[in-house]
Chains A and B, each alone.
Chain A
Amino acid sequence: MNIAAFALLATTIAIYVVLDGYDLGVATVAPLVARGAAQRAAAMESIGPFWNGNEVWLIAAGGLLFALFPRAYASAFSGFYLPFTVVLWLLMFRGISLELRNHLASDLWRGFWDTAFTGASALLAVLFGVALGNLVRGLPLGANGYFLGRFAFLLNPYALGVGIFALLALAQHGLAFLTLRTDGELAERSRRLLARLWWGVLLLYCATTLASLDLRSGTTAEAPMRLAPMVVLSLVALGAVHWFTRSGKPGPAFAASSLFLASLVLAAAITMYPYLLPAFPAGSGGIDVTNAGTGALGTARTLALTLPGLAAVVAYSIFVLRRMRGDPKSTSAR
C-alpha cells in the first residue's frame, strides 16, 4: 500500500515535470531562438493553451502529498518556508506574465512580460533542481521531524549542480517542444540549438549521476543496483533525443525528452524510497512512508478516491488534445 502511494505521488510529480517542464523550457530558451515579435508570439502561443492545465498537476501533487503523507507535507513546506515562498511567487509571476502579454498590443508591454516570463521560468527550473538535489542529499531534521537547517544549508555544491542540470534538461525539453510545435525559422533554430545543448545535458547527467551514487554509496548498498535500470533508461532516452533530433523527427525527439525527464524523477524517487524526507547525513533515518502516512486504511481510501478521478483526467485530456489537434499557428490567443 505504501509503495503504491509513493509510486502514485512520484508519477504525479513526473507528469508535472514532463508537462510543465516544456512550459518552463520554452520560456527559458525563447530569447535564444525566437527573433522578432512574430516568432516570440509564436513561441508563447505554443504553450499558451496548456500551461494552466499543466500547472494543475502540481496542485494535484500537493493535494496528494497532503492527503497521503501529511507529516511530510507539514515538515517539508514549513522547513523550506522561505525558498518555497519564493517558488510560489515565481510560479505566480510566470503565470501572470504569460497571460498578460497578449492583452496590450505594445512592444514595450510585451517585451517586459516576455523578459519577466523567461527570468521567472529559468529561476524556477534551477530552484526545482536545487530542491530535488537537497531531497536526495537529505536534510537536517529535528526529533519531531521538522527541518532544522538554514537557507544556506540548501545551497550546497551538489544541489546547485542538480539545479544547473535541471535548467539544461528543461531547456532541452523546451527546445524539443518548439521544434515539434512551431515551424519555419523558429523550429529550425530550436532544432540546431537542441543538437548543441544536448552535449551539455549529457555531460551534466553523467556528473550528477556519479555524484548521487557517491552520496548514497556509504549507506544503502543496494541503491546502485536499484538505480541501474533507471540509469540505463535515462541513457537510452537521452540517446534517442540526440538520434531523432539529428534525423529530423521532432515527435519522437520530444517523446524521448519526456521519457528522459520522467526517468530522472523516478530515479530520484527510487533512490529516496522509503523516505520522503531523508535525514542528513545519509543513513540517519528521516520521514518515511510509514511515519508520515495515515495508516493502511487511510492510504487505501485516498487511493480509491483519487485514482478514478486521475484516470478520468488522463482520458479527457487526451480527448481534448485530439479535438484541438491541428496547426498550432492557427491557435487564436485572445
Chain B
Amino acid sequence: MGSAVVADRIQFAFTVMFHYLFPIATIGLAPFIAWFAWRAARGDDEVARGASVFWTKIFAINFAVGVVTGIPMEFAFGTNWAPFSAKAGAVIGQPLAMEGVYAFFLESVFLGIMLYGRRRVSPRLYAWSATLVGIGSWLSGFFIVATDAWMQHPVGYRMASDGSIRLVDIGALLFSPFAWWQYAHVLVGALVAGSFIVAGVGAYYLLAERNIEDGRRYVRLGVLVALVASALVIFPTGDRNSADVTKYQPVKLAAMEGLFHSTNGAPLAIIGMPDTQRRELIDPVVVPDVLSFLAYGNFTANVKGLTEYADTLWPPVALTYYAYHVMVGLGTIFIAVAALAVLLLWRGRLTSFRPLLWVLMLAMPFPYIANEAGWVVSEVGRQPWVIYGVMRTADAASTNVAAGETIFTLIGYVGMYFLLGLLFMLLVLREIGLGPNVATHATQEAEV
C-alpha cells in the first residue's frame, strides 16, 4: 500500500460504506414512521401510537450515528481529494450545499419535535414533523445521488481556461434522467431494507411471544411494502439503471457481467469466477442470449466485452462482478421471500407460520448487504475514473497528504467505527428488547 491514492480509496470506501449503513435505515424507516404517526393522529390506535414512538427511537439512533459519520464524508473531498475538489467543486459543491440547506436542517429540526416535543405539540403537528423528517431524509438522498450521478455521467458543464470545471446548467444536473433512475433505485433499495427491518422486528416479537399485537402489525405492513419495493428494485428502476450503464459505461457493464469477449446473443452469467489473467469466466453457469436481451431488448444483439477496451480502462473486474451478482442474487431472494409471505398473509396464516417468521427475522442484515453491494458496483465499476471520461481517480487524490498520514487516519477511523458499531448494536438491540409498549410506558412516566 505504498501509493497515496490507494490509501485514500480504501479510506473513502471504508468510511462511506460504514456511513451508508445508517442512511439506509433512516430513508427506509421514515415512511413507516410517518404512516404510524398519521394513523395515531387519527384516533385511538394504540399500536400505531406505540409504533411511532418506538420506531422514532430506532430512527434517532441511526440518525445520530449517520450525522457523526457523515461529517467526515462532507470534508473528505477537501482533505483526501483536494485536486478533485479544486477542479470540480464549482459543480459538485452545488448539490452538496443544497443538501445541507434544504434537507439536513429539515431532518434535524423536526426530529427535535419528535424526540422532545411529543407531549407539547398536537398529534397532527407530530405527524407533520414525522412527514417532514421523512422528506428531509429522502431529499438528502437525492442531492447525494445527484452528485454521484453527475460524476458517473457528467452533464451541463464546460471546462474553464484554468482547467477547472464550471457548471453551465444546474437543471441538467438536478434533472438528469441518469440521476433520477439511480435515485429511484437507491430509494426503493433502502425501502426494501426498511420494510425487512420492520417485518423482522415484528417476526422476532411473534417468535418470542411478546408484543404480539405490535408484532402482527409490523410483519403484515413490512412484508406488503417489502414485496412492492423489492419488485420496484428490479423493474423498472434496476432495469433503467442497467440501460444507462449499457449506454454510457459499457466497460462497467462488461465487468458486471464478467463478459470478456464481445458476443452476439451474449449469455447471462448466473455463476462463474472471472479471471483477468486468462480473460474468461471460469466454471460458468449461463442462460444463453439473455444478456443481449436485457441490455438491448434483442436476443441476438452484440454486447461488447472487456477485451474491446484497453485494460487500463477496466475497472477492478472481480469486485465489480461479484458485487453485482451478490446484489442481483439477494434482490431475487427478497422478492421470493416477500411473495411467499404475502401469499401466506392472504391465506391468513403468516403470523402463525413459524418457519417463515424465522426467515424474516434472520433476513434483516441482507438488504444492507445488497444496498452496499449496489454502491460497490456503481463506484468501483466506474474506475479508473472519478468523473467519468473527464478526470481519473489517480489524479484526484491530495498530493500534499502522504500515504502514511492517510493510513494513520484510516486506522483511527477503523478503531472509532468499530467502537461506534458495537455501541450502535447495543443500543438498538436494547430498544428492540424494551419494545414499543415498555417504551411508551416509560416515556409517559418520564414526561408526567
**Contact indicator B111/A68 (Cβ below 8 Å):** no
Is B400 an interface residue when CB atoms closer than 8 A count as contact?
Answer: yes
Is B68 an interface residue when CB atoms closer than 8 A count as contact?
Answer: yes
| Chain B 368-425 interface residues, beta-carbon cutoff 8 Å to A | 398-401, 405, 408-409, 412, 416, 420, 423
**Contact indicator A78/B82 (Cβ below 8 Å):** yes
Is B123 an interface residue when CB atoms closer than 8 A count as contact?
Answer: no
Which residues in B have their C-beta under 8 angstroms from that of A50?
112
Which residues in A have their C-beta under 8 angstroms from that of B100?
56, 59-60, 62-64
Partner-contacting stretch, out of A155-163, A224-232, A298-306: A298-306
**Contact indicator A323/B420 (Cβ below 8 Å):** no
**Contact indicator B97/A324 (Cβ below 8 Å):** no
Which residues in B have their C-beta under 8 angstroms from that of A84?
75, 79
- Number of B interface residues in the complex (CB < 8 A): 73
Binary A-proximity of B317-360 (CB < 8 A = 1, otherwise 0) = 00000000000000000000000000000000000000000000
B57 nearest in chain A by CB position = A334
**Contact indicator A49/B116 (Cβ below 8 Å):** yes
- Number of A interface residues in the complex (CB < 8 A): 64
| Least Cβ–Cβ distance between B74 and chain A, in angstroms | 5
| Chain A 53-102 interface residues, beta-carbon cutoff 8 Å to B | 53, 55-56, 58-60, 62-64, 66-68, 70-71, 73-79, 81-82, 84-85, 88-89, 91-93, 95-96, 99-100
When the two chains form the complex, which single residue of A59, A146, A326 contacts B104, counting CB atoms closer than 8 Å? A59
Partner-contacting stretch, out of A124-132, A195-203, A276-284, A313-321: A313-321
Mostly, the A contact residues are helix
**Contact indicator A60/B65 (Cβ below 8 Å):** no
Which residues in A have their C-beta under 8 angstroms from that of B64?
52, 95-96, 99
Which residues in B have their C-beta under 8 angstroms from that of A100?
423, 427
How far is A74 from B148 in the complex, measured between Cα atoms in Å?
Answer: 18
**Contact indicator B93/A63 (Cβ below 8 Å):** yes
| Least Cβ–Cβ distance between B19 and chain A, in angstroms | 11
When the two chains form the complex, which single residue of A48, A53, A298 contacts B105, counting CB atoms closer than 8 Å? A53
| Least Cβ–Cβ distance between A197 and chain B, in angstroms | 29
**Contact indicator A53/B67 (Cβ below 8 Å):** no
Is B241 an interface residue when CB atoms closer than 8 A count as contact?
Answer: no
B interface list, Cβ under 8 A from A: 57, 61, 63-65, 67-72, 74-75, 77-80, 82-86, 88-90, 92-94, 96-102, 104-106, 108-113, 115-121, 125, 160, 164, 166-167, 170, 398-401, 405, 408-409, 412, 416, 420, 423, 427, 430, 443, 446-447
- Contacts beyond the supplied A49-B116, A295-B160, A313-B109: 7 A-B pairs with Cβ under 8 Å: A56-B108, A66-B74, A70-B85, A70-B88, A74-B83, A146-B82, A332-B119
